[in-house]
Amino acid sequence: MANSYSRKIQERIRDAAEGTVFIGADFADIADTETVRRNLNRLTQAGLIRRILKGVYEKPEYSEMLKEYVAADPEVVAKALARNYHWSIAPCGNTALNLLGLSTQVTAVWSYISDGPYKTYEWDSTKLEFKHRTNKEITGLSYMTILVIQALKTLGKANVTEKTIQILRFRLSKEDKAVMLTEAAESTDWVYNTIRKIAERD
């Protein structure tokens, strides 16, 4: 039976795309927590996955151009941590601007708002920061809605230009815009008016 568990865990990892980040709970349908932990540790030692943080593992992505494994994507790691601890999160500050293509500035810290506690995580040269916010700012809103709201707040009303609106109009799907119009209705007036402009042509 143990070999069956091991095979299923290994098959799930092999079938996943390179760069996929796993937590133990991702295998909860296969085996109990301790069995999963032992298997993930064994697969780490075998080089099939690598440990990013305690309880967080990645199927590394190899770059043929660079001839080396690329660094883990902080955004994917952040989502894995949120999944692990049952937090609702969304990028904020410069992280939100970067992910939406509104800034090319390299961030020293990847920042997220969260309905969990204030936490920081570091590995290699990457730092993740989770800032606690009240549930009403996060819970019940889609990831993209929170992301856009946080990006607009970071820019500030005076710095939201027609170019900003055009970039977001291009980046967001028709479905994203429709959901945002409903979900952001109770946000600050200027934020909601900007969202209406982003969505007005769909």
Compute φ and ψ for 15, nearest 5 degrees.
-75, -20
Q: Which helix (H) or strand (E) holds 21?
A: strand 21-23
The answer to whether 93 and 87 are in contact (CB under 8 A) is no
pLDDT digit string, tens, across residues 67-100 = 888 889 999 999 999 999 999 888 999 999 999 9
pLDDT digit string, tens, across residues 24-41 = 999 999 999 999 999 999
User: What predicted TM-score, i.e. pTM, was given to this entire model?
Assistant: 0.85
Give the pLDDT band of residue 111 (cuts 50, 70, 90).
Answer: very high
Specify the pairing of strand 119-123 against strand 126-132.
antiparallel
Give the pLDDT band of residue 135 (cuts 50, 70, 90).
Answer: low
DSSP state of 89: E
Question: How far, in Å, CA of 119 to CA of 117, rounded?
Answer: 6
The answer to whether 155 and 164 are in contact (CB under 8 A) is yes
Give the pLDDT band of residue 2 (cuts 50, 70, 90).
Answer: low
Has residue 134 got a pLDDT over 80? no
Work out the mean pLDDT of the chain and round it to a whole number: 91
Q: Which helix (H) or strand (E) holds 51?
A: strand 50-53
Has residue 44 got a pLDDT over 60? yes
